[in-house]
Amino acid sequence: MTLVDCLTEDPRWDAAGLEPLAEAAARAALAGAGLDPDDWAISLLACDDARIAVLNAEFRGKPVPTNVLSWPSDDRAAQEPGATPDPPDPEDAMPGEPAELGDIAISYDTCLREAQAGGLALGDHATHLIVHAVLHLLGYDHERDEDATLMETLETAILGKMGLHDPYAPMPDV
């Protein structure tokens, strides 16, 4: 069963292999959070900076491009700083259908710029951004220090299991 339904507006994402990469990243994020990936559905918009800037302006009041945006299907954020968000309930879905977790948009241009600036492979950085966005769909956030610590710790563990570096660790001098 496919977890991520990908709508590709920018064909450069096809060349980068985003669909299988997003599927693997989302599955790893859900499993890392203790959820069965087959119980869920996520929609992904693979776009460019122009499109994500419009979305960022519309939903966050910031008319500039960003790397990734997420829209959870429900507010799952924990009330107490540093507390684990309540897990979503797959029983909320229609019988025989996976439950909707929410939507994600990712910009090729910003993702590529950030990957190049960090000396990372585009696929590795996109994987990190998808894991990050899926955790947002699950109610994790980084607005408060305690929440950021919780989210980044889980994110780093998930990426580590995927064989990827800790995005929050200082880069070694070369």
165 is in an annotated binding site: no
Q: Tell me if 136 is assigned to a ligand binding site.
A: yes
Q: Known binder of ligand: residue 128?
A: no
Give the sign of the dihedral formed by CA 162, CA 143, CA 102, CA 99: positive
Q: Residues of 22-43 as b/e, b for ≥16 C-beta within 10 angstroms?
A: bbbbbbbbbebbebebebbbbb
Enumerate the known binding-site residues for Zn(2+).
132, 136, 142
Enumerate the known binding-site residues.
132, 136, 142
